[in-house]
Structure 1
Amino acid sequence: MSASPLFRVRAVLFDCDGVLVDSEPITNGVLRDMLAERGWAMSADECLRRFVGKTVRSQAALIEAHTGQPFTEDWLQAFYVRRNARLAAELQPIDGAVATVQAVHARVGGRIACASGADLAKVQMQLAQVGLAALFGAHVFSGHDLPRSKPFPDVYLKAADALATPPADCLVVEDTVTGVQAGVAAGATVVGFAPAGQAAVHTEVQALREAGAAHIITHMRELPGLIRV
């Protein structure tokens, strides 16, 4: 077995959902329920495949086509309310994420950021809920607040700029093809996270590699050992 690579970096930029917090099954469960109420029934796996790594708003045309009903701001806000209630009741950190962020924070002298495609209030709520908010401080960013979200690089470029670190000196940690594409487009080195035991893990690993991930980890505890400063 070959040794894991070492990446010389000055800063580490984390995605949130699926990397730091196990929110995707919860969020997609609420979305699946609300779409079923509008006549679009699908399995949990299909809902994840269609929507993971994407904002609900960006899929408005798809939702309208399958439900035959208009995508409205009121419906989206109702989704946010139901989603946040479920997250508040059920959210847990990804296994090993808290210890990993603590270790990485120490290794790179605090130069870490969270750069998500989700809305900022949700990201901040989730980080606080799992005990990570203090480690990231003000360096939490959302693609919702920028002209373009993932797979465009904007949120990673903003995070790198806030840390006064060139993107080429940043390591991005992502679990979706959309996110990997964003990190690569920003000019960062990207580590893909594909948890062992997830559905169709081999397909996911290949997809992350094809999107440009330089290395794949299957548990968050592997990350600190990849970083050389």
Structure 2
Amino acid sequence: MIQTVIFDMDGVIVDTEPVHKFAYYQHFNELGILVTEEMYTSFTGNSTRNIFQKLKVQFDLPHDVEDLILRKRHLFNEAFDVKPDLYLVEGVFELIQDLYANGMQLILASSASNGTIERIFNRFDLHSYFTHKVSGEDFPKSKPHPAIFEHAASLSLAPKENCIVIEDSTNGIEAAVGAGIFCVGYDSFHSKNQDLSKADLIIQHFNELNFNRVKSLV
């Protein structure tokens, strides 16, 4: 029986992707680099550090990776603070409440920075539902490397076999599969051009899940 649900954040709990994209492209313009839509899409599920490590090599940027990260985060925070139309993904809060009320352990495992995670959790008052919040910035390799989900599963009160991951990106699903954890792929309207085929189950809306279905998935 499933006892722990590990949630991704961006695209699963909240759609911050438009804010991230706005901030990234502001930064790309400042740097004078041309990042194609295809290249940008391939970064989905990567941490900011890993993205700039790749861009530094790709475009031979002279800047320090840490400086690039700080500038992008500044641009993101500016946009985040003024963007009023930032909402939880439809149906996800009801699912979180249902799982929590029935004693399911909830863990966050997101490629977002600790700062961004805190901003989202503060804005939507999510802290009380999750026992742990794991950030991709604390790992040298981003999804699709499985390290973040392996660590999240190690924090579970149950064995890994009694955990599931909910993800919406190609890289995230590959990371969950690599960690050997049952993966639910959320076919999000906001996550374009993502391959969910390796997920164990694919859903189009969170009303397809509830405590009774989740606990019986494996």
Give the TM-score taking structure 2 as reference length. Answer: 0.86
- Give the CA deviation at 1:16: 0.7
> 2:114: which partner in 1?
120
Q: 1:181 aligns with which of 170, 174, 177?
A: 174
- Give the CA deviation at 1:198: 6.0
- Give the CA deviation at 1:79: 0.9
> 1:105: which partner in 2?
100
Q: Secondary structure of 1:17's partner?
A: coil
CA 47–223 in structure 1, closer or farther in 2 if over 3 Å, else same? farther
> 1:221: which partner in 2?
207
**What one-letter code is carried by the residue in structure 2 that aligns with 1:191?**
V
Provide the alpha-carbon RMSD of the alignment. Answer: 2.2
Give me the whole-angstrom Cα distance separating, in 1, the residues matched to 2:47 and 2:93: 25
CA 53–161 in structure 1, closer or farther in 2 if over 3 Å, else same? same
CA contact (8 A) 1:124 1:140 kept: no
> 2:125: which partner in 1?
131
**What one-letter code is carried by the residue in structure 2 that aligns with 1:162?**
L
Q: Does 1:52 align with 2:56?
A: no
CA 105–47 in structure 1, closer or farther in 2 if over 3 Å, else same? farther
Structure 1 regions of 5+ residues with no counterpart? 1-7
Give me the whole-angstrom Cα distance separating, in 2, the residues matched to 1:56 and 1:100: 28
CA contact (8 A) 2:8 2:109 kept: yes
CA contact (8 A) 1:196 1:219 kept: no
How many equivalent residue pairs?
212
> 1:85: which partner in 2?
78
Aligned sequence identity (%):
28
CA contact (8 A) 2:45 2:142 kept: no
Deviations 1:167-186 (A, max 9, x none): 11101000111111111122
Give me the whole-angstrom Cα distance separating, in 2, the residues matched to 1:145 and 1:169: 25
Q: Does 1:70 align with 2:51?
A: no
Give me the whole-angstrom Cα distance separating, in 2, the residues matched to 1:82 and 1:39: 16
- Give the CA deviation at 1:164: 2.1
Q: Secondary structure of 2:107's partner?
A: strand
Give me the whole-angstrom Cα distance separating, in 2, the residues matched to 1:162 and 1:195: 27
Greater relative CO (CA pairs within 8 A, separation 6+): 2
**What one-letter code is carried by the residue in structure 1 that aligns with 2:199?**
A
Give me the whole-angstrom Cα distance separating, in 2, the residues matched to 1:180 and 1:126: 22
